[in-house]
Amino acid sequence: MPTSTAIHPAPAAGGARAPRRTPRFTAGPTTLYAQLASVLRGHIASGEWPPDSDIPSIDELCAQYGLGRITVRQALQILAAEGLVSSQRGRRTFVTYSRDQLEAAPLFPTFAAVGVQTPEYGVKILSHTRTDELPPARWDLGRSAGPYMLVRKLDQSSGQPYGLSGIYVAEDIYKRFPKGAENRSKLVRLLVKYAKVPVTLARERVRVAAADFAEAEGLGCAMAMPVARVERVFCDADGRVVYYSNTAYRGDRYGLERDISEYLHRV
Amino acid sequence: MPTSTAIHPAPAAGGARAPRRTPRFTAGPTTLYAQLASVLRGHIASGEWPPDSDIPSIDELCAQYGLGRITVRQALQILAAEGLVSSQRGRRTFVTYSRDQLEAAPLFPTFAAVGVQTPEYGVKILSHTRTDELPPARWDLGRSAGPYMLVRKLDQSSGQPYGLSGIYVAEDIYKRFPKGAENRSKLVRLLVKYAKVPVTLARERVRVAAADFAEAEGLGCAMAMPVARVERVFCDADGRVVYYSNTAYRGDRYGLERDISEYLHRV
């Protein structure tokens, strides 16, 4: 593994606060400027650098973190591209992020959204493959009984991709879908409508990972950016898997909200 | 932003398959070797490179991806450190990852785990701060009515940190906790037990992000590695927030499983 280089910053301005702990910048998988961007993003998200306030100058940031001007400039360019800061003719850089923006920004593609198809929603079908089996490394719920139609697709909001899915739908049910319906409706919606045996089991598993190549390409994000990987299994009353999916959501577009009051009684 | 360099690999060996699309390696926030590791990890996770199979040699990988020997070696070192591949005296490198390992590995710190305290579980209290208000950028549920005790803590499993939390507990309830109980029990458990007005609302919000400096330091992971950020709010029957928390879980230790059958009826 690469060697690590700890850089001791000068004490932060405004000596009233306790001295800040030393960020550890490391030559490693993440470049120095991305690491610095991450630190500065933290100052903004925590409110330490409030909206409309000036952030330290490039020279001050260089001195504080012991990094070069190019690295600091690159970090600020990332924050500017993310809409967190803005510069006025190179003189001052100030925070343009507000809490309202944060609240407005995230998509919450929980399953609740299945029933609600907004005008912004779009789907791009990438491929169809007929297959006899579910993938071997799947979540082991229910009985695999093919053939299945594997549909690869991209969910989009206002034309921007946010979810890349591979979805196995029992072929006998898939064949009953009206022609072209999958281009307008989510597959789960169609599944529940056209299944002859009622769908009774529905489970979801969420994990967090760094985008692999296919995910980065499909979602239009950088490789190794955070994604949520969501696996969903639907079984019918006979215990047969009728729907199995893997979806990668862009980390910056993913969110899930849920009621956890049932757990209060188990405490 | 940095310039991008598309590298066109030679066609994959085994011409029966459709030609693989071109990975796009980019000079950017993620180093080339981390990007390549991400691509190769994808081959292993998908089963394209099954357990015990030999992977291509360093020379073959260099030719296939148009990358230098040092970059390819570094990528393989990452995979070896993750336990995905192993090398025999530099001659062959083979896949050591199995699905059983994957299934055994992830922690699922869903809320279901609150009631179950395993022998491996440990908690390290980092600080206590008395405060009159909840943070301004909180999830806007319930009524803030301080004072609160802000407890910063690290959840550990077998001594390895997996979750870093800042938890606000209504001070009047906190004061009723037995001395030292917070070192052994989760705070939610104590909250429900010692609250005078019953806790009736409990909600959770999950997002995905790149670890900021404080998270990387606390969780012992690299900056910008994926984390799950989980926000939880508990209110009593009077609508007062009695517990508010932010937790960052290491991405490689986070998982959530849930029943989503209620959504079937809304489809």
Query: What is the per-residue pLDDT for A165?
Result: 95
B153 touches chain A (CB under 8 A): no
Choose among B45, B210, B266: nearest Cβ to A112. Answer: B266
C-alpha distances in Å from residue A255, one per residue of A120, A209, A235: 17, 14, 25
Interface of B with A in 229-248 (CB under 8 A): 232
Which residues in chain A land under pLDDT 70? 1-30, 89-90, 98-119, 265-267
Q: What is the mean pLDDT of chain B?
A: 79
Confidence at residue A138, expressed as pLDDT on a 0 to 100 scale:
86
* The predicted structure's pLDDT at residue A230: 93
Burial of A154: CB neighbours in 10 Å, binned 0-12, 13-18, 19+: middle
The reply to whether residue B203 touches residue A135, judged by beta carbons under 8 angstroms, is: no
pLDDT tens digits, one per residue of B213-238: 788 889 887 777 789 999 999 999 99
In chain B, domain spans = 1-104, 106-261
H or E segment at B192?
Answer: helix B187-194
Q: Is B248 helix (H, G, I), strand (E, B) or coil?
A: strand
Q: How confident is the model at residue B156 (pLDDT cuts 50, 70, 90)?
A: confident
DSSP A176: T
Mark yes or no for CB contact B213/A42 under 8 Å. yes
Which two three-digit tokens encode residue A260? 């956890």
Q: Which of A155, A75, A257, A197 is nearest to B141 (CA)?
A: A257
Does residue B171 carry a pLDDT above 90?
Answer: yes
Q: How far apart are CA A242 and CA A172, in angstroms?
A: 9
**ipTM score for this prediction:** 0.73
Neighbours of A160 (CB within 10 A): 14
Q: What are phi and psi of A28, to 5 degrees?
A: -165, -155
For chain A positions 175-204, those within 8 Å of chain B (CB to CB) are 188-189, 192-193, 199-204
Nearest beta carbon to residue B210 from set A23, A31, A38 = A38
Residue B88: its pLDDT value, please? 78
Strand residues in A171-218 grouped as ranges (E): 199-210
Q: Is B106-261 the same fold as B1-104?
A: no
Residue in A79, A102, A127, A213 to test binding to B, most B beta-carbons within 10 Å: A213
**Encoded amino acid at B154, one letter:** L
pLDDT of residue A217: 84
CA-nearest of A161, A174, A75 to A126 is A161
User: How far is the C-alpha of B222 from the C-alpha of A195, rounded, in Å?
Assistant: 46
With an 8 Å Cβ cutoff, is A102 touching chain B?
yes
Between chains, do B267 and A137 touch, taking CB under 8 Å as contact? no
Can you tell me the distance from the alpha carbon of A213 to that of A221, in angstroms, rounded to the nearest whole number? Answer: 10
Q: Check if the beta carbon of residue B201 is closer than 8 Å to that of residue B192.
A: no
Among A200, A213, A258, beta carbon nearest to B42: A213
Residue type, B81: A
* Alpha carbon A9 to its chain's center: 32
Q: Residue type at B123?
A: V
- DSSP H or E segment with residue A219: helix A213-219
**A214 touches B at CB < 8 Å:** yes
Dump the DSSP string for A81-150. HTTSEEEETTTEEEE---HHHHHHS-----GGGGG---TTEEEEEEEEEEESS--TTS---SB----EEE
Strand partners, B89: none
Q: What CATH number has the domain spanning B106-261? A: 3.40.1410.10
User: Is residue B20 less than 8 Å (CB to CB) from chain A?
Assistant: no
DSSP class per residue in B24-37: --BSSSB-HHHHHH
Closest to A106 measured CA to CA, from B207, B263, B213? B207
Tell me how far apart the alpha carbons of residues A170 and A153 are, in angstroms, rounded to a whole number.
Answer: 17
Question: Would you say B32 and B4 are in contact if contact means Cβ atoms under 8 Å apart?
Answer: no
Integer CA distances (angstroms), B105 to A262, B64, B102, B203, in order? 26, 32, 5, 27
| Residue B266 CB partners (closer than 8 Å, separation 6+) | A112, A114, A115
By Cβ distance, the residue of B28, B42, B135 closest to A214 is B42
Statement: residue B149 has pLDDT above 90? yes
pLDDT at A8: 33
**CA gap A266, A81 in Å, rounded:** 45
Residues in chain B: 267
Report residue A213 CA to chain centroid gap.
Answer: 15
pLDDT at A258: 84
Fold classified for A1-103:
Arc Repressor Mutant, subunit A (1.10.10)
Question: Is residue A141 less than 8 Å (CB to CB) from chain B?
Answer: no
Q: CB–CB of A29 and B28 under 8 A?
A: no
Which positions in chain B touch A223 (Cβ < 8 Å)? 25-26, 30, 34-35, 38-39
Question: Min CA distance, A55 vs chain B (Å)?
Answer: 18
Q: Which amino acid is at B189?
A: R
Which CATH fold topology does B1-104 show?
Arc Repressor Mutant, subunit A (1.10.10)
Q: Is the pLDDT of residue B106 over 70?
A: no
